[in-house]
Amino acid sequence: MTNDTTNIATNTTDAPIDSFSPLYIHPSDNPGAMLVPNPFNRTGYRSWRRGVLRSLSVKNKLGFINGKCEKPASNSPNFHLWERCDDMVTSWILNSLGKEIVDSVEYVNDATELWRKLEDRYDQTNGAKLYQIQKEINDLSQGILDITGYYTKMKKL
């Protein structure tokens, strides 16, 4: 007598996902993880963005925010894998934002839309701030700082 029941939890008809695939989720990945140590609270967007991009690159998930890992058709065998990964990336980004920002973007459809909304809202050039920083750079002098302190201050600006 043969057993025709399918084990839905382990779906033995699918091949294992290659660990280099963007659809692969490492066992240690979880939706509660934070990509960066400090949540973004409307200041330091570019630094926050750089940290998020670096973290997603390490996890091979950049394609979910830049659109390169496109959503497959709903009847594709990879649809549920893609949806799961996209939800994971969306959760990671939301966990890396301050509460008031999360409240304004929590109902986005996918990670790409979330990333675009954040870019549109916060990746703007502030002319007054740019002028202020350029003035500080022009006015910077070594003074009593040692060369390392001076270089660090200059690089920060």
Q: Which residues pair with 40 in a beta bridge?
A: 97
Global pTM value: 0.74
* Mean per-residue pLDDT of the chain: 87
From residue 15, give the alpha-carbon distance in Å to each of 9, 34, 97, 103, 112. 14, 30, 36, 39, 27
pLDDT attached to residue 15: 66
How would residue 13 be classed by pLDDT, with cut points 50, 70 and 90? very low
> Domain residues of the chain, as ranges?
14-124, 125-157
pLDDT attached to residue 4: 41
pLDDT tens for each residue of 95-146: 999 999 999 999 999 999 999 999 999 987 766 777 788 888 888 888 898 9
pLDDT attached to residue 124: 76
